[in-house]
Structure formats: C-alpha cells, structure tokens
Amino acid sequence: MNPLLSVENLSLEFRTRSGIVRALENVSLQLPEGGSLGLVGESGSGKSVLSFAVLGIQDAAAKITGGAIRFAGNDLLADGGSAMKNMRGRELAMIFQNPRVALNPIRQVGQQIEDVLLRHTALRGAAARARAIECLSDVRIPDPERRYTAYPFELSGGMCQRVMIAIALACKPRLLIADEPTTGLDVTTQAAIMRLIRDLGREKGMATLLITHDLGLARDFCDNIAVMHAGHIVEVGATETLFRVPAHPYTAQLVRATPVGQERLEALASIPGNLPDLRRSDLPPCRFSERCELRSATCATPLPTLTASAGHVVACHHPQARTSS
C-alpha cells in the first residue's frame, strides 16, 4: 500500500548572508495512513525545517534543492506547491510549541477556529460558530461557549495548546504534525495533552508525525521512530526494534541515555559534542563523524543506506546491528 506521506531524498538549504545552510540532505521518511511516526533529534537537527517543508510554509530564504514530497498520491512540490494550497490546514495540519505565542494575541480563540472553518468548509455564520464551539469541546475544553470569546492571554498554556489542537483538527485532517507540542507546558499538562493527541488520533484515524526532543515520549507514543542528526535521517525503525537493537552509534547513545520507566518528559539526553556548523563547505559525508567513537577511514566515503531488518534502515558505515544493503 502507498504511504499517506512520503518524503523522498529531500534536500533543502537556506541562503543567508553568512553562507548557505545545508539544513536537510537526502531526507526520506514514510508515514502510513493512521500511523504514528516520531521524529527525534537534538535542537537544530532540522526537525522543524522538515515539517515546515512538508506543509510548504518554509522561510522565504529556504530553497528545496532536490527530492520529492508526496501526500496521498499528490506531488506537493509540483507547480511551486499549488497542490498544497487547498490541503494545508484541511488534509494536513500542524501544532506548534509554545502555544501561548502561537495564537493570535488579539483575536478571540473561537474566531481563530472559525477562520479555518470559513476557509476550508462551506459552513457560515451561526453554523460555523456552532462547529467552532464543538471543536473546543472536542479537545475537552470545559465550558466551550464561554471560552469561544476568550483571548489567548486569558487562557493557561495547556488551554492554549488545546485551542491549537482544535484549530488543527477543525477540518478533520488525515495527518497531524505536532512539533514539540508539550514544550513550555508543565508536566501534568504535558501528559494530558499527549493523551489527548493520541486519543483524538485514534478516534479519527489520523496519522501523526510527532516531533520531539524526547526519545522516551516517542517510544510511548509512536509506532515508528526516525532519528535525525544535523539534517540527516540517520536511522528509521519500528519503535520496539529501534530500542532493542539501535544500529546507528548516535541512536545507541541516545537509547543508552534515555531512562526507562520514570518521569521522562524532559529534554533529550545530551550527547557529547555539538552539531557541526551546517554552513561549512567541508561537511563530511557522515555529519556525526566528528562526534563518533567508531569512526574509521571509510567513514569519509559517501554514506550507505543499510537495511537491518524490514523497515529498519540505517545510514552508517559501521552499524551496531546486523544489516544488509
């Protein structure tokens, strides 16, 4: 079966004053209908850039230099992204971190939901308002009629995130991209929001791409996990496999550093060393090599894509698990 979302060898760069930032290189991933994929990686690895590119809302300075993005059989990059125009917000939706600043500060939250309904549905007037209130109650906001007229500054962070989810789900999208949806919220609210996203996803048969710093969170939540490092996807696999036999040295380090069974909604365990500067012209083929303990001379040659088991792929010369090419 064709996946719902498929990103194929996507490369993207930012042309800035201080040089070209090679933010994504040959990135590939698949997400089946109704499935859930976790995209993890430390800050600056390109997770947000990738998700913006999928939605076609990347910065003006961003240039897609190669590859393809397909959604439900449509080529999203064709004709300068015209296919995306009517699908964004309706078929694919996104929620962001820091919900308090991600909502229009001087517009009632109900109206912000209504704006989306007016854009994508035939609902008008009182019907649109009624549906907006329904959306608020769908995300378990108590007293939705009254909350309709609230402004973001009158709501707590958790409430704002629920409003964001309501906006994203207003048109029953087939794919939800959640970019660190719990950053900036307190721990109990984080759990509630994650449960909400999972439950709504199941109810509506919606696929979810969860972007997070937190490998543990991705484990609880996702069928599959993709690990990103410095604009590369270094490893993709089923959650359980990836945790049991991590193949890439970076993933292995992450897994080792992720505690099991305790309160783990916290930042990604820190791995020694830093991401390389993506503006460098002498970036090595393996962008992890400057931090890697297993580096050898072959690591300076182009990266292979090896398959460890069905659906478990790794980009490394010295994978930790048995693989085949």
Partner 1 sequence: MISTILKRLLGAIPNLIGVVVVTFLLTRALPGDPAAFFAGASGTAEAVEEIRKKLGLDKSLPEQFIVYVRDLARGDWGMSHATGQSVLTELTTRLPASLELTLAALFLAVIVAIPLGILAATRPGSWIDHLCRGIATAGVSLPTFFTGLLLAYVFYFLLGWAPAPLGRLDPYLSAPAQVTGFYLIDSLIARDFAVFVGALKQLILPTVTLALFVLAPLARMTRASMLGVLSADFIRTARASGLAPRTVLFTYAFRNALLPVMTTLGMVFSFLLGSNVLVEKVFAWPGIGSFAIEALVASDYAPVQGFVLSMALLYVLLNLSIDIAYGFVDPRMKIEN
Ligand X SMILES: Nc1ncnc2c1ncn2[C@@H]1O[C@H](COP(=O)(O)OP(=O)(O)OP(=O)(O)O)[C@@H](O)[C@H]1O
Q: Are strands 207-212 and 232-238 parallel, antiparallel or unpaired?
A: unpaired
With contact defined as beta carbons under 8 Å apart, do 89 and 117 qualify? no
- Return the residue of 7, 12, 76, 102 that touches partner 1, per CB under 8 A: 102
List residues near ligand X by CB under 6 A.
14, 16, 21, 23, 41, 43-49, 59, 61, 213, 278
SS3 52: helix
Q: Does residue 183 bind partner 1 (CB under 8 A)?
A: no
Q: Which is nearer to Mg ion, 48 or 253 (CB)?
A: 48
Interface map 43-62 toward partner 1 (x if CB under 8 A) = ------------x-x-----
Nearest approach, Cβ of residue 140 and ligand X (Å): 27
Nearest approach, Cβ of residue 216 and partner 1 (Å): 26
Q: Are strands 312-314 and 232-238 parallel, antiparallel or unpaired?
A: antiparallel
Nearest approach, Cβ of residue 287 and ligand X (Å): 11
With contact defined as beta carbons under 8 Å apart, do 169 and 121 qualify? no
Q: Which is nearer to Mg ion, 47 or 120 (CB)?
A: 47
What order do you get walking across the sheet with 92-95 strand by strand? 92-95, 175-179, 207-212, 36-40, 224-229, 232-238, 312-314, 306-309
Nearest approach, Cβ of residue 275 and ligand SF4 (Å): 14
Size of the site for partner 1 (CB under 8 A): 29
List residues near ligand SF4 by CB under 6 A.
249, 286, 288-289, 292, 294-295, 299, 316-318
Partner whose binding site includes residue 278, from ligand SF4, Mg ion, ligand X, none (CB under 5 to 8 Å by kind) = ligand X
Among 263, 156, 257, 165, which residue's Cα sits nearest to residue 210? 165
Partner whose binding site includes residue 296, from ligand X, Mg ion, partner 1, none (CB under 5 to 8 Å by kind) = none
With contact defined as beta carbons under 8 Å apart, do 28 and 7 qualify? yes
Question: Residue 256: CB partners within 8 Å, gap ≥ 6?
Answer: none
Among 249, 256, 253, 237, which residue's Cα sits nearest to residue 318? 249
Nearest approach, Cβ of residue 26 and Mg ion (Å): 20
Among 15, 45, 13, 17, which residue's Cα sits nearest to residue 226? 45
Partner whose binding site includes residue 292, from ligand SF4, partner 1, ligand X, none (CB under 5 to 8 Å by kind) = ligand SF4
Q: Which is nearer to ligand X, 45 or 182 (CB)?
A: 45
DSSP E strand stretches across the chain: 5-16, 19-31, 36-40, 62-71, 74-75, 92-95, 175-179, 207-212, 224-229, 232-238, 306-309, 312-314
Tokens of 20: 């070209």
Q: Does residue 96 bind partner 1 (CB under 8 A)?
A: yes
- Return the residue of 26, 74, 98, 320 that touches partner 1, per CB under 8 A: 98
Q: Which of residues 58-87 bind partner 1 (CB under 8 A)?
A: 85-87
Q: Give the chain's length.
A: 325
User: Which residue, judged by CB position, is nearest to Mg ion in the bound state?
Assistant: 48
- Return the residue of 30, 48, 224, 251 that touches Mg ion, per CB under 5 A: 48
Q: CA 225, CA 29: separation in Å to the nearest integer?
A: 10
Q: Which is nearer to Mg ion, 48 or 224 (CB)?
A: 48
Q: Does residue 45 bind Mg ion (CB under 5 A)?
A: no
List residues near partner 1 by CB under 8 A: 55, 57, 85-90, 93-94, 96, 98, 101-107, 115-116, 119-120, 151, 153, 164, 167-168, 170
